[in-house]
Amino acid sequence: MFQYQAKTLYCENKPLADIAQSVGTPLYVYSKSELLRRARAYRAYPGALVCYAVKANGNPILLRLLGEEGLGADVTSGGELFLALQAAIPAKRIIYSGVGKRRDEIEMALAASIRALHVESMMELDVIAAVAQDMGRVAHVGVRVNPDIPAQTHPYDSTGRLDHKFGVPRESAVTLLHRAAEHPFLNPVGLAAHIGSQITSLAPYRRLVAFLVELANDMAAAGIDLEYVDVGGGLGIDYGQNGTPPIEEWIETVSQPVENAGYELVVEPGRSIVGPAGVLLTEVLYNKEQGAKYFVIVDAGMNDLIRPAMYDANHPLWPVRQRFNTDAPIVPLNVVGPICETGDFLARERLLPQPQVGDLLALMQAGAYGFAMSSNYNGRLRLPEVLVDGDQCELIRHRQNLEHLLDGVPISGE
Ligand code: LLP
């Protein structure tokens, strides 16, 4: 929860400027109460298994908190499975989605006895069956169906059309489920879909849930009783331009048809849990006017938050101190980082008072796909992460140091 008190931006009861002062900039700051409020909104519907999408933000301390709230995890690699298990999320609450699971990752999932692997192709089902047989264990599988439903979002965030790589068409899902039912080392337990991310309307979900329930019922009629229906994640958050349905309304919408049909509901939210709980704090290094543009050069770059460059995302930009009686002209600001790319912008053409060198700026709604997508590009160090609880804060990830840039490199003479 981020709000101004006396023109100063706070995270809960802690001024962001104090955190920047002690930890340095740039950095990510998360609000524990906002994170938990959102997790609990999903958990308020008692029948659902809420598998948090680890890809949105895999910080182990946050994962542990979510696990303690009763959430499970949706993982997409052996690495994310490791993080979820390490955070003590029970294996029975972990599902594994993704089109390209390697053999060793499948082995890892089976060894951990997770709830299910979600299969995305016939070839993958065969590999899972072979691995399960070799290990002498039954693999619980869900089939990810591609419902061919448009998600009305950025093209890169749409995943449920037939020209996307995800899932299998309805007819193939039926074939895969039959094949799994017949195989001695496979047990078909669920039907899953994920149609995209940053979806701000309930309409595609109404279509999706009806589609999934109908297909699950058809399977039951054919003698294959599935335990759950998984509608994926994708609920959007408010980046300042569009409203979005509250979590409670979304879960109500998807849960009713699933519950009425007698299946367990599984959901895989990521962004809507952690996105609004985090900000990226950065300091103004220089002002520069060039070619009719006002550039504000800050110490965070596209390697720290790639969403503006990659999806043209608009993270609201809030000054950490609102100035009184400012004489600063209001101009269309272009907030850019130190990276050697023209695409290195964090905010474009925002009408705001021109900040001064040393001012702190907060890029809001940055808790999801912020740190998680960051890199060491341009030799930059990955950022620290701070968790605020009331007026207390905890460093939940240290800033990298220069030695990290040598990680894994066999340096001669050593
Ligand atoms: N389940 C599956 C199988 C997924 O692929 C995803 C996200 C989710 C759940 C969680 O979706 P969410 O609730 O977070 O929308 N980097 C992009 C978003 C990519 C989403 C990928 N899959 C961005 O920053 O907009």
Q: Is 165 helix (H, G, I), strand (E, B) or coil?
A: coil
**Ligand 1 center to 56 CA (angstroms):** 7
**Ligand 1 center to 219 CA (angstroms):** 28
According to CATH, where is 3.20.20.10 located in the chain? 98-267
Q: How far is C-alpha 211 from the chain's CA centre?
A: 25
Please tell me the residue having the least CA distance from ligand 1 atom 20: 197
Model confidence pLDDT, tens digit, residues 25-40: 999 999 999 999 999 9
Please tell me the residue having the least CA distance from ligand 1 atom 7: 197
| Residue of 50, 271, 307 to mutate, ligand 1, most atoms within 8 A of C-beta | 271
| Residue of 42, 54, 55, 201 to mutate, ligand 1, most atoms within 8 A of C-beta | 55
**Ligand 1 center to 310 CA (angstroms):** 14
C-alpha pair distances (Å), 63 with each of 55, 60, 407: 11, 5, 25
| CB atoms inside a 10 Å sphere around CB 336 | 25
- Give the torsion sign (CA, 61, 13, 38, 158): negative
Residue 336, beta-bridge partner list: 297, 345
| Residue of 268, 346, 363 to mutate, ligand 1, most atoms within 8 A of C-beta | 268
Please tell me the residue having the least CA distance from ligand 1 atom 5: 194
Separation of alpha carbons 31 and 235, rounded Å: 20
Atom of ligand 1 nearest to the CA of 118: 3
Q: Is 51 helix (H, G, I), strand (E, B) or coil?
A: strand
**Ligand 1 center to 297 CA (angstroms):** 30
User: How many Cα atoms are found within 13 Å in the side-chain-facing hemisphere of 19?
Assistant: 36
Atom of ligand 1 nearest to the CA of 97: 3
DSSP 403: G
Separation of alpha carbons 278 and 269, rounded Å: 16
Q: How buried is 153 (Cβ within 10 angstroms: 0-12 exposed, 13-18 middle, 19+ buried)?
A: buried
Cis peptide before 26 (omega within 30 of 0): yes
Please tell me the residue having the least CA distance from ligand 1 atom 8: 233
**Ligand 1 center to 196 CA (angstroms):** 7
**Ligand 1 center to 328 CA (angstroms):** 39
Average pLDDT, the chain: 95
Separation of alpha carbons 250 and 202, rounded Å: 7
Model confidence pLDDT, tens digit, residues 365-405: 999 999 999 999 999 999 999 999 999 999 999 999 999 99
Active site residue 393: no
Q: Which residues does a 6 A CB cutoff place in the pocket of ligand 1?
A: 53, 55-56, 74, 97, 157, 194, 197-198, 232-235, 268-272, 307, 311, 368-369
Per-residue pLDDT of the chain (414 residues; tens, 9 = 90+): 999 999 999 999 999 999 999 999 999 999 999 999 999 999 988 889 999 999 999 999 999 999 999 999 999 999 999 999 999 999 999 999 999 999 999 999 999 999 999 999 999 999 999 999 999 999 999 999 999 898 878 887 788 788 888 999 999 999 999 999 999 999 999 999 999 999 999 999 999 999 999 999 999 999 999 999 999 999 999 998 878 999 999 999 999 999 999 999 999 999 999 999 999 999 999 999 999 999 999 999 999 999 999 999 999 999 999 875 577 888 999 999 999 999 999 999 999 999 999 999 999 999 999 999 999 999 999 999 999 999 999 999 999 999 999 999 998 655
Separation of alpha carbons 26 and 291, rounded Å: 28
Model confidence pLDDT, tens digit, residues 287-337: 999 999 999 999 999 999 999 999 999 999 999 998 755 778 889 999 999
pLDDT value at residue 274: 98
**DSSP states along 261-290:** TT-EEEE---HHHHGGGEEEEEEEEEEEEE
Fold classification of 2-29+276-406 (topology level): Lyase, Ornithine Decarboxylase; Chain A, domain 1 (2.40.37)
Separation of alpha carbons 71 and 63, rounded Å: 9
- From the list 11, 51, 340, 393, the catalytic residue is 340
Separation of alpha carbons 384 and 276, rounded Å: 18
Are 380 and 399 contacting, i.e. CB atoms less than 8 angstroms apart?
A: no
Are 142 and 119 contacting, i.e. CB atoms less than 8 angstroms apart?
A: yes
Class of domain 98-267: alpha beta
Which helix (H) or strand (E) segment holds residue 39: the answer is helix 32-43
Gap between the terminal Cα atoms of the chain: 48
Its pTM surpasses 0.85? yes
Within 115-180, strands assigned E span: 116-119, 139-144
According to CATH, where is 2.40.37.10 located in the chain? 2-29+276-406
Category of 189 on φ-ψ map: left (φ > 0), alpha (ψ -120 to 50) or beta: alpha
